[in-house]
């Protein structure tokens, strides 16, 4: 087993030197070429002063160089922190400072990140072979940052062994293999884009970079033209594809794996994806900090479409009450997981660590239920639960009902203060055709108890979302709270 990902690259460069490792546009790089490039970059990083254990930030765009620098940092024993090029310099400074980054690799012409020694990628002194050193499989490899940069940065430090174990579940449970041509259609900063790229490079597959922006129809054409066999799409992208005109056959017939994750999908969307996009659709429930939790596969029954499937390989899942005791099947409680890739806690944040990492378990902050067959369903974030008149209400249930209306393409439900009830529900929706709030209320009354009907409906052009495609409900909550305050 190769615990350092750069060692895996060396191995693949020897056994399949001419096999394409990376493709972007007209440029194709074989495994032997990538290994030489990474070796040269690693030598340059060493000459610039990077030593094993140092934290190095990567602030490159969604390019081949981003991948090569990422691997070069690992090859010299550095610890990777990814910075999104779309952030302001202050956001980058805050994250780099919190995690103690000593160096930042930046694009030519980009602003310097204060507090770090910045290395322009085009000016790294290339050539030579980096000094050899012993790899500790339990040594640090990267910081796995949570989505967004508002407030205090948060993320655990993952080791080489832990990241390898995360990749192992990709190979076993999802079915990645070395013969795949996978397309990375999300930003490289995003955990899925970075993680799946590394997972495929470790086993010798081909990674095709196709970063946004692009139109949905352009993505479909690219997948089919480039003979892509696997792709990961966040639900936002998936919904955009589902909004394209339907054909008589699935849009992506060559896919062996169509994977989605990052935020909640509704049961009807899973069925539509299998019918209109690819019958090989899978839904992965995971978190940046805790890795994979469960997977809903194509062969799972249609009556499980509203779930997130069964626990992935090597992962133990429980639903517990506030005291940590397991609840009965079908009962909503706090989800927790235990797996060999779970880190010990958040880096430099003991308070948040004590809340999320307890007694060997990781608590992702989600509420859910396990049925008698072991299928996991998500009831929403614990912090997003609305308590109306003393009754717990889980917004995803209402959002799923709203999305069943033919005019609605996306929906989010939050709570707002109420003088008597404590909280009441407010729905935000995106519609592709005209619909009145009276029609939506009537639609909800067909499927929901009276106390679950939103008190107000707001049509918006789009819902605020973070980099991973999750709805930023804090933005919506602040909006309705400010309206109450007047």
Q: Are 457 and 251 in contact (CB under 8 A)?
A: no
CA distance readout (Å), 251 to 162, 180, 219 = 36, 19, 11
pLDDT of amino acid 149: 44
Q: Are 299 and 318 in contact (CB under 8 A)?
A: no
Phi, psi of 342, rounded to the nearest 5 degrees: -75, 125
Q: Are 270 and 242 in contact (CB under 8 A)?
A: no
DSSP-assigned beta bridge partners for residue 335: 319
User: In 347-436, where does DSSP find H-type helix?
Assistant: 350-356, 395-403
Return d(Cα 324, Cα 333) in angstroms, integer. 10
- Residue for token pair 């235990």: 338
CA distance readout (Å), 134 to 150, 402, 459 = 37, 56, 58
Q: Are 333 and 367 in contact (CB under 8 A)?
A: yes
Pull the structure tokens for residue 300: 């799972």
| Measured CA angle at 197 (ends 192, 199), to 5 deg | 95
Question: What's the predicted TM-score (pTM) here?
Answer: 0.87
Pull the structure tokens for residue 2: 């190769």
CATH fold of 213-381 reads Rossmann fold (3.40.50)
Return d(Cα 358, Cα 54) in angstroms, integer. 28
Phi, psi of 302, rounded to the nearest 5 degrees: -65, -30
Are the folds of 29-157 and 213-381 the same? yes
pLDDT of amino acid 155: 87
Domains in the chain: boundaries: 29-157, 213-381, 385-485
What is the DSSP secondary-structure string of 162-200? HHHHHHHHIIIII---TT-EEEE-S-TTSHHHHHHHHHH
pLDDT of amino acid 467: 65
Architecture in CATH of 29-157 = 3-Layer(aba) Sandwich (3.40)
Mean pLDDT by 10 residues, the chain (486 residues): 75 97 98 95 93 94 96 94 89 90 93 93 81 80 71 83 94 98 92 93 97 96 98 90 91 97 84 96 93 97 94 97 96 96 92 92 95 94 86 89 93 90 92 94 93 95 81 88 70
Name the 3-class secondary structure at 442: helix
CATH classification code of 385-485 = 3.30.300.30
Return d(Cα 445, Cα 440) in angstroms, integer. 9
């Amino acid at each position: 087993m190769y615990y350092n990902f750069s060692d895996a690259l060396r191995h693949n460069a020897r056994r399949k030197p001419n096999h394409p490792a990376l493709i972007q546009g007209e440029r194709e790089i074989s495994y032997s070429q990538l290994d030489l490039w990474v070796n040269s970059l690693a030598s340059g990083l060493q000459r610039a002063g990077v030593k094993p254990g140092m934290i190095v930030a990567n602030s490159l765009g969604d390019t081949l160089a981003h991948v090569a620098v990422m691997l070069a940092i690992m090859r010299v024993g550095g610890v990777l922190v990814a910075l999104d090029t779309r952030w302001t310099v202050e956001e980058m400074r805050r994250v780099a400072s919190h995690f103690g980054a000593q160096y930042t690799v930046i694009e030519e012409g980009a602003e310097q990140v204060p507090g770090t020694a910045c290395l322009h990628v085009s000016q790294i002194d290339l050539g030579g072979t980096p000094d050899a050193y012993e790899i500790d499989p339990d040594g640090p490899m990267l910081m796995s940052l949570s989505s967004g940069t508002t407030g205090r940065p948060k993320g655990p430090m993952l080791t080489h062994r832990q990241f390898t174990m995360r990749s192992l579940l990709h190979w076993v449970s999802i079915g990645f293999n070395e013969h795949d041509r996978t397309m990375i259609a999300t930003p490289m900063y995003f955990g899925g884009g970075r993680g799946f790229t590394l997972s495929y490079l470790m086993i010798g597959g081909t990674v095709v970079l196709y970063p946004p922006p692009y139109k949905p129809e352009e993505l479909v054409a690219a997948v089919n033209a480039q003979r892509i066999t696997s792709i990961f799409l966040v639900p936002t992208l998936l919904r955009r594809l589902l909004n394209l005109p339907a054909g008589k056959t699935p849009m992506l017939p060559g896919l062996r794996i169509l994977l989605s994750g990052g935020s909640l999908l509704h049961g009807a969307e899973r069925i539509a994806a299998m019918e209109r996009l690819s019958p090989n659709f899978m839904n992965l429930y995971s978190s940046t900090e805790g890795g994979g939790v469960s997977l809903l596969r194509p062969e799972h029954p249609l009556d499980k479409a509203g779930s997130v499937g069964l626990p992935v390989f090597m992962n133990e899942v429980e639903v517990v009450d506030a005291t940590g005791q397991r609840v009965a099947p079908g009962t909503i409680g706090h989800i927790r997981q235990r797996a060999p890739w779970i880190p010990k806690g958040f880096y430099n944040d003991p308070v948040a660590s004590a809340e999320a990492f307890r007694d060997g378990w990781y608590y992702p902050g989600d509420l859910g239920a396990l049925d008698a067959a072991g299928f996991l369903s998500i009831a929403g974030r614990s912090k997003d639960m609305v308590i109306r008149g003393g009754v717990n209400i889980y917004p995803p249930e209402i959002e799923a009902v709203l999305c069943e209306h033919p005019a609605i393409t996306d929906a989010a439900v939050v709570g707002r203060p109420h003088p008597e009830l404590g909280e009441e529900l407010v729905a935000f929706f995106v519609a592709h055709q005209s619909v009145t709030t009276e029609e939506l209320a009537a639609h909800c009354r067909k499927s929901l108890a009276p106390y679950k009907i939103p008190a107000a409906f707001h049509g918006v052009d789009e819902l605020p979302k973070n980099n991973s495609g999750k709805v930023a409900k804090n933005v919506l909550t602040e909006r309705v709270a400010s309206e109450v305050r007047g």
